[in-house]
A and B are shown apart, each in its own frame.
Chain A
Amino acid sequence: MIAYIIRRLLQMIPVVFGTTFLIYAMVYSLGDPTVGRCGERPCSPAYVARLRAEYNLDDPLLVQYFKYMGKIATGDFGQTFNGVDIGAELLARWPITMKLAVIALLVEAIIGIAAGVLAGLRKGGFLDSLVFVSTLAIISIPVFVLGSVAQLVFGVRLAWLPPTATAGTWHQLLLPGIVLGTLSMAYIARLTRNSLVENLGADYVRTAKAKGLTWRRTVGVHTLRNSLIPVITFIGFDLGALMGGAIVTERIFNVQGIGGYIWHSISTKDGGAIVATVTLLVLVYLIMSLLVDLLYGALDPRISHD
């Protein structure tokens, strides 16, 4: 187990370098970040020259990349064009996005699994159809529609929850968190339901029933545990996606988190900020996939890491 974890951690090193270099190269190909920064008139050569020197823009791509990674290795994430420390910026924004992700994750996991289990146990019944139809409806609504409508109805008209989450408190993040979690919730409900239905027909369930185990124990311990493996996989990777992919939701609710920051950095071609943020996202994904793999072993002894 320990050896497995160490091996996986070591594997992360080339992955991190490879992905960050790819991202750096992509940002580099976005074009010259010094153009178009002075409104409708060209920037003065002196202004451009100062920016180019400050951000090593005159070096070849590889040299720029290693200079940049060297700085990151010492904990210096550099500065954005408006002179804000990127490290400080991420430190301020990361917790907000994490809170948002946690709310979304709780919503999707609790409601999604519960709905999936109920539907799976009553296969073909009314509840099953209800879950089927409602998840279909949710999946087909784009998140910006869902977000805008939720904001208008619950935030502005009914005023139950704050319509925006600028300060990033738990209370403010509740509405965007629910919106963000809703889509995945539908997927989780379906995944749980199908996986449960499949496993309920498996031989070992029949054996368990034949042994005389209670229905509760058969489903709760034997079937559900196996059925949750694909769900856990989904949730694990979804957390990674929630960390960075909440761009739309963060814009609608003005959440000052990572998603909005990526969007802003791309639009201002702030390469340093993009690469730093995405590097962190890559790390989150890697760690999440490691955790998911470890959980497999815990849920199903047949999947062994030794």
Chain B
Amino acid sequence: MRGRSRLAVAAASASVLMLALSACGGGGTGTGSGSGSGGGSGESAVVIKGCTPENPLVPGNTSETCGGDIVDAFTAKLVHYNTETAEPEMDIAESIESDDNQNFTVKLKQGYKFQDGTEVKAKNFVDAWNYTAAAKNGQAGAYFMKVIEGAAEIGEEGAAGETLTGLAVVDDYTFTIKTTEKVSNLPVRLGYSAFAPMPDSFFADPKAFEDKPIGAGPFQIESKDTQNTVLTKFADYSGKYPANVDKLTFRIYTDPAAAYTDVVANNLDYTNEIPSDQMIGDAYKSDLTDRNLNRASGRFQGIVFSPNDEQLRDNLKLRQALSMAINRDLIAKDIMHGSVIPAKGWAPSVVDGATDTACGEYCTFDAAKAKTLYDEAGGYNGVLALTTNGDGAHREWTEAVCNSIKNAVGADCRVVLTPDFATYNKQIDAGELKGMFRTGWQMDYPSIENFLGPIYTTGADSNWSKYDNPAFNAKLAEAAAAGTDDEANKLYQEAEAMLGQDLPTTPLWYPTTTVGWSDKVTDVKINAFGVLDFSAIKVKN
């Protein structure tokens, strides 16, 4: 009997443990159980892939895509970018006018409502932009306000000021913007989410806003937890881009492969990412026949010739030789599986003003010519490093680029991987990298200027190549003062041509966006940013 009673103890403690476990198992099964589409209540619902935002969903503090996509869905801005052409169209703005490209008058349409019921007025823009620009609020999007007069003063570390001198409310529906210098493309910039208006309730209680963000867009946030952000159609939305579906859920996926699987199985309605193994030989096209789309997007990828490398810095011919030694077409096809478009310029053709010609022959693979140039230039002594961050799927193509250079000109090119993007960034900032390193750029607004100004102006934040050309700076300033868009674009192209002559970096390609969707939805469109047009997507009847 002793034995039996001990067994009973063992069994009992095991079952107590099980009970404790199953008791804990009760909660946590919140929204969105399985099926992607809308249930039987007659409401149409779409579930799309989301990822975890890096910051709270405050428009001025969101500078990455995980949060940015959601912010885009619940906010409305002064202008809206056309999904097909990326042209800015007036949204909340009735008009944005300027005589001198420096003093702008913005008139608002009346009747736009925030999701808390208050009307969108001029002061909501001015307050929001002031808040984003002020250093004491530490917003990630402060960068976008730099163009407005007074931003430098209140944006400095430790500055106490909180209003931009360049903004003034004229009346409820009019305000003026004065920029630090002439900016002909200001209206194009104002569609970025950092320029979204903020309701008064945000300033009264920012913490409450973080818990339930409010905008004036076609969708409003219903609830958000760690797995789902649920948005519903905003009934009082009065803009031109109303939602087609009643409910839009961003469901968090940590792994794009899982999202892809769910789309194939019709458990998820949309994914903005096709896993790389499915890109090989267009495998995804057989899983998702008529349910996939590939489109050029506003992104650029290239290689920086390190400004800290004396051999490269002072030797244009060497840079030209290396640039010519890269077989972009072959790598795009064989290594990138068609997910990129080989580049011959510094700005992708999806943006206004871009021509994709500035790099010309130096971006065209020619091994013989590259070798001649390389020998004339005296070659590269020692190991030519190509550095990239190891956490971002760059290994394969950097090795291909290095091999291409090695085969064409015989330089001892080797890929160096840093552990992660943060370390990589730090090394670039500290000027520790020699040789070449990877660079990438995702546009903030669809203008050729965005691919030049922030990256190549002397002293700019993202000027990794430390490009310093007064003529280039002057050309950009001239373009910013131009009277018409065409004139401005022509001048920007002239500036881009200077990059072609100086080659501080060499373009590689423009990444494209490939998306897939379930057989429950239709009207799937993506814009030049590679983001789904949330308003257009529909559930099939």
Decide yes or no whether B63 CB sits under 8 A from chain A. Answer: yes
0/1 per residue, B1-38, Cβ < 8 Å to A? 01100110110011001100110111111111110000
A33 to B55, CA, bound (A): 13
A163 to B260, CA, bound (A): 11
Name the A residues within 8 Å of B22 (CB-CB).
102
Residues of A within 8 A of B157 (CB): 45-46, 49
Shortest Cβ distance from B69 into chain A, in angstroms?
14
User: Please, could you name 21 A-B residue pairs with CB atoms under 8 Å apart, sorted by A?
Assistant: A32-B426, A35-B425, A35-B426, A36-B426, A40-B439, A42-B429, A42-B461, A45-B135, A46-B142, A47-B140, A81-B54, A83-B210, A84-B226, A92-B227, A95-B26, A98-B24, A169-B33, A251-B255, A254-B253, A264-B52, A269-B422
B interface footprint on A197-222 (CB within 8 Å = 1, 0 otherwise): 00000000000000000000000010
Which of B53, B257, B259, B267 gathers the greatest number of chain A CB atoms within 10 Å? B267
Docked CA distance A92–B28 (Å):
5
Q: Is B265 an interface residue (CB 8 A)?
A: yes
Complex Cα gap A268–B225 (Å): 18
Top 5 nearest A-B pairs by Cβ distance?
A: A50-B138, A83-B56, A36-B422, A46-B135, A254-B258
B-contacting residues, A36-73, CB 8 Å: 36-51
Contact with A along B34-54 (1 / 0, CB 8 A): 100000000000000000111
Most chain-B CB neighbours within 10 Å: which of A31, A92, A167, A294?
A: A167
B143 interfacial by beta-carbon distance below 8 Å: yes
Q: How far is the CB of B4 from chain A (nearest CB, A)?
A: 8
What count of chain B residues pass the 8 Å CB interface test?
75
Q: Which residue of B lies closest to A171 (CB)?
A: B34
Question: A5-46, CB under 8 A of B: which get 1 and which 0?
Answer: 000000000000000000000000001110111111111111
B-contact 0/1 string along A69-111, CB 8 Å cutoff: 0000000000001111000110111111011011000000000
Q: Please measure, in the bound complex, the distance between the C-alpha atom of A101 and the C-alpha atom of B391, giving whole angstroms.
A: 29
Contact A41:B454 (CB < 8 A) given known A36-B421, A36-B422, A256-B227 = yes
Q: Is residue A277 contacting chain B, with contact meaning CB distance below 8 A?
A: no
Query: Shortest distance in angstroms between B80's beta carbon and chain A's nearest beta carbon?
Result: 22
Contact A82 B258 (CB under 8 A): no
B261→A156 contact, CB < 8 A: yes
Chain B 478-504 residues near chain A, CB threshold 8 A = none
Indicate if the CB atoms of B55 and A39 lie closer than 8 Å: no
B139 contacts A by Cβ under 8 Å = yes
Instruction: Tell me if A167 and B29 are in contact (CB < 8 A).
Output: yes
List B residues at the A interface (Cβ < 8 Å).
Answer: 2-3, 6-7, 9-10, 13-14, 17-18, 21-22, 24-34, 52-56, 63-64, 67, 135-140, 142-143, 155, 157, 210, 225-227, 251-255, 257-259, 261-262, 264-265, 267-268, 391, 420-426, 429, 439-442, 454, 461-462
Inter-chain contact A38/B140, CB cutoff 8 Å: yes
Query: Are A260's CB and B254's CB within 8 A?
Result: yes
Q: Are B136 and A46 in touch, CB under 8 angstroms? A: yes
In the complex, A250 Cα to B254 Cα: how many Å?
Answer: 9
From 162 to 190 in chain A, residues with beta carbon under 8 angstroms from any chain B beta carbon are: 162-164, 166-170, 172
Nearest B-chain residue to A261, judged by Cβ: B226
| Known contacts A47-B138, A254-B253; A95 and B28 CB within 8 A of each other | yes
A40, B421: Cα distance in complex, Å: 9
Determine whether the beta carbon of B13 is less than 8 Å from that of A291. yes
The residue in chain B whose Cβ has the minimal distance to the Cβ of A102 is B21
Complex contact B255–A46 (CB within 8 A): no
A46 and B10 in contact, given A39-B64, A156-B265, A169-B33 (Cβ under 8 angstroms): no
Asked if A267 lies at the interface with its beta carbon under 8 angstroms from chain B, I say yes
Q: Which of A43, A253, A256 counts the most chain B CB atoms within 10 A?
A: A256
